[in-house]
Amino acid sequence: MKNLKSLLFILVILSALTTMVAAYLTLIHSDIRGTFLTIALSMYGALFLLAFIDILSSRIYSTKEKALWTLAVLFGNSLGVLMYLLVGRKQVSVAA
């Protein structure tokens, strides 16, 4: 599970950087902005998928806690994933 946490952190950073590059390319009307947006959306999709898998496969959380973290990730977007990584994963590592 430590590898999953590292992968989630890397995806958060890379997706944010890719989104910033895509926004800059949009501002300067570059032709490759669509490629960067596609990459960023793919990273965000993978990020959410991995976060959901990690939350739902956890044996530490009750069903209610899993539902709350799932809603936080779903409606909090990247901030929800960061909250889960910084707060929720600490709860898992302390309990294990």
Would you give the DSSP letter of residue 29?
A: T
Q: Where are the domains of the chain?
A: 2-95
Confidence at 90, pLDDT banded by 50, 70, 90: low
| Residue 89 DSSP symbol | H
Question: What is the structure's pLDDT at 36?
Answer: 79
Q: What is the pTM of this model?
A: 0.72
pLDDT at 5: 73
| Residue of 15, 22, 93, 88 whose CA lies nearest to 51 | 88
Q: Quick check: 70 pLDDT over 80? A: yes
User: What is the average pLDDT across 15-34?
Assistant: 85
User: What's the rounded mean pLDDT across residues 83-90?
Assistant: 76
**Quick one: tokens of 45?**
């999709």
